[in-house]
A and B are shown apart, each in its own frame.
Chain A
Amino acid sequence: MAIILDKVNCVYEQGTPREMYALKDINLKIGDGQFIGVIGHTGSGKSTLIQHMNGLLRATSGSIYYNGEDIYAEDYSMRSLRSKVGLVFQYPEHQLFETTILADVCFGPMNQGLDKNEAELRAFEALHSVGIPEGLFDQSPFDLSGGQKRRVAIAGVLAMRPEVLILDEPTAGLDPKGRDEILDQIAKLHAENHITVILVSHSMEDVAKYVERIIVMNQGSVMFDGAPKEVFRHYKELEQVGLAAPQVTYLMHELQEKGFPVSRDATTVAEAKTEILRAFGRSGE
């Protein structure tokens, strides 16, 4: 069991009239190799949650276990935790600083104690896996396009070979094709390397297409936790807290209400198409 959060609370200004719970009684079990989406509106606590998972923020109360070890134990090394739980922040290209792309991606591995050669090997590997051609390795990271910079930044975290990869809104600010490319790449990483991937997003449609489990955050608590189809059944409640189910989910619900024999559980266009065609007595294609 990779990450366990047990009764985790994160409170600011506790005991004062301005007391604010960023996280309230969080209990979560994240297994190895899962592909999870964390959804919530701004201020729901999703960014705070992921920063607890790699020890950047410390819980006010409650315990967090990584692979069975208590991360708040005296002798537990937070730095080693951060090697294993990689976190890519929003707009990660803002963290680039080195003179060449290769050097920047080496930063993580070198902080892990690897020597220059090993670090470079890791960097090569990581840049390859995000699709950056070797010819660019000597260029300044500031000369790249926005999408390329972002991939270099992600490679910077991948080079540390984390067991868990958390990405905070990896598609923020990208155009539709850029978004698809990055998400496809992440899905590929998950499939090939069997790492646990946690994707934080507010785009339901993106998330529904890729993940196997969705955690919905609302005002610091976990509101729903389950497979996408289960979670989107609660679309009315999701709407009340400012989130929306994918467009097709609404469509299927409405069609069912109007008497069409369709399942309400379609969350992608492909599923909806199959359902509707079936309702009209035709097969797909």
Chain B
Amino acid sequence: MASLMVKARQLVHEYIRRDEEGNPVATQTALDHVDIDIRPGSFVAILGHNGSGKSTLAKHLNVLLAPTEGTLWVDGKDTSDPDNLWDIRQSAGMVFQNPDNQIIGSIVEEDVGFGPENLGVPTDEIWQRVEDSLRSVGMLKFRSASPNKLSGGQKQRVAIAGVMAMQPACIVLDEPTAMLDPNGRKEVLRAVHELNRIKGVTIILITHYMEEVTDADYVYVMDSGSVVMQGTPREIFSRVESLQAHRMDVPQITLLAHELKKSGLDLPDGILTREELVAALERLREG
């Protein structure tokens, strides 16, 4: 495995809008000289509002799009080289936003087997992988169910299992929780954190919900096609005004801590959880 799971250097993507004859009419720069480093085994979040470029970046990671300029290496392979296409797609699995529109099988286990079938994996091994994957996301007992009977969170877990069955080095999740209710969101996040922790799969979570990012190893914040902030969650969360300027919604606890600090209370920066805030307020009370 390469020393970096994902390496982007000055990555540019331009969408060219053409008129009816195919002549370029306007260009829109969706990615503007982006540099990103993602280490194997890490849990990285890419935050940004709709239109920030994060979805375009996601599509580059599994070569659904190719760079206009700059280079992107996924698992050591250059995405602009057409020979690498299918290898990269096997190394970097992708889970999409709409739970229904990525499930192909009429039965859960058959859908999870779809990826291995495409890879030419022998039948016995397919079954082994399907069982292992379903077990790793906690959906083994639904193996014979129809996807139509599952909740949104369950469907997304099946999609994740479908990707895991291809034994990828990393999984890219493009706003996997945007269409789910709070319970579904929790289910999906728990599943990917476990996969990251137990199986060591690199996770790249693309989202606009800041609450999902508190347990990440590293965070990139995007706006207008560029990386505008990067750091650990704690570093990012302490820059509340900057986040708000980039159209991100800071979780209530962090916002409150920030406001209290602005009003003169001596609180540390980057408070992420309720427990931390309570502890900090208690310390203030004593001291």
Q: How many A-B residue pairs have CB under 8 A?
A: 88
Q: Does B105 contact A (CB under 8 A)?
A: no
B50 near A147: Cβ-Cβ < 8 Å = yes
Interfacial chain A residues near B264, Cβ < 8 Å: 282
Interfacial chain B residues near A260, Cβ < 8 Å: 281, 285
B260 near A42: Cβ-Cβ < 8 Å = no
Q: Report the minimum CB–CB distance from B155 to chain A (whole Å).
A: 13
27 example contacts (A-B, Cβ-Cβ < 8 A) are as follows: A42-B184, A145-B50, A147-B50, A173-B179, A174-B50, A175-B247, A176-B210, A176-B247, A176-B249, A180-B249, A202-B182, A242-B182, A242-B183, A243-B182, A244-B182, A247-B251, A247-B252, A247-B253, A248-B256, A251-B256, A255-B281, A260-B281, A272-B252, A272-B256, A273-B256, A273-B260, A273-B263
A251 near B263: Cβ-Cβ < 8 Å = no
Known: A247-B251, A273-B260. A202 touches B278 (CB 8 A): no
Q: Does B181 contact A (CB under 8 A)?
A: yes
Q: Report the minimum CB–CB distance from B85 to chain A (whole Å).
A: 29
Closest to B97 in A: A173
Closest to B98 in A: A173
Closest to B273 in A: A247
A277 near B260: Cβ-Cβ < 8 Å = yes
Q: Report the minimum CB–CB distance from B179 to chain A (whole Å).
A: 6
Q: How far is the CA of A179 from the CA of B210 in the complex (A)?
A: 14
A176 near B281: Cβ-Cβ < 8 Å = no
Q: Report the minimum CB–CB distance from B102 to chain A (whole Å).
A: 16
Interfacial chain B residues near A242, Cβ < 8 Å: 182-183
Known: A42-B151, A175-B247, A250-B274. A280 touches B49 (CB 8 A): no
Sort chain A's interface into a size bin: 35 or more
Q: Report the minimum CB–CB distance from A170 to chain B (whole Å).
A: 14
Closest to A259 in B: B285
Q: How far is the CA of A244 from the CA of B185 in the complex (A)?
A: 13
Q: Does B248 contact A (CB under 8 A)?
A: yes
Q: Does A1 contact B (CB under 8 A)?
A: no
Q: Mark B188-213 against chain A: 1 for CB-CB distance below 8 A, else 0.
A: 00000000000000000000111000
A269 near B256: Cβ-Cβ < 8 Å = yes
B259 near A269: Cβ-Cβ < 8 Å = yes
Interface residues of B (CB under 8 A from A): 49-51, 151-152, 178-179, 181-184, 208-210, 247-249, 251-253, 255-256, 259-260, 263-265, 274, 277-278, 281-282, 284-285
Q: Report the minimum CB–CB distance from B256 to chain A (whole Å).
A: 5
Closest to B52 in A: A175
A146 near B50: Cβ-Cβ < 8 Å = yes
Q: How far is the CA of A258 from the CA of B252 in the complex (A)?
A: 20
Q: Report the minimum CB–CB distance from B188 to chain A (whole Å).
A: 14
Q: Report the minimum CB–CB distance from A239 to chain B (whole Å).
A: 11
Residue of A41, A174, A258, A276 near B183 (CB, 8 A) is: A41
Q: How far is the CA of A177 from the CA of B48 in the complex (A)?
A: 11
Q: How far is the CA of A179 from the CA of B50 in the complex (A)?
A: 11
B247 near A280: Cβ-Cβ < 8 Å = no
Residue of A41, A146, A177, A202 near B247 (CB, 8 A) is: A177
Residue of A42, A255, A269, A272 near B278 (CB, 8 A) is: A255
Interfacial chain B residues near A25, Cβ < 8 Å: none
Residue of B49, B183, B263 near A176 (CB, 8 A) is: B49
Q: Mark A229-251 against chain B: 1 for CB-CB distance below 8 A, else 0.
A: 00000000000001110111011
Interfacial chain A residues near B183, Cβ < 8 Å: 41-42, 242
Q: Report the minimum CB–CB distance from A9 to chain B (whole Å).
A: 25
Interfacial chain A residues near B284, Cβ < 8 Å: 280
B278 near A177: Cβ-Cβ < 8 Å = no
Q: Does A284 contact B (CB under 8 A)?
A: yes
Interfacial chain B residues near A212, Cβ < 8 Å: none
The 4 closest A-B pairs by CB, nearest first: A176-B249, A247-B252, A177-B247, A175-B208
B252 near A205: Cβ-Cβ < 8 Å = yes
Closest to A40 in B: B181
Closest to A268 in B: B252
A248 near B281: Cβ-Cβ < 8 Å = no
Interfacial chain B residues near A172, Cβ < 8 Å: 179
Q: How far is the CA of A277 from the CA of B264 in the complex (A)?
A: 9
A258 near B208: Cβ-Cβ < 8 Å = no
Closest to A174 in B: B50
Residue of B249, B265, B282 near A177 (CB, 8 A) is: B249
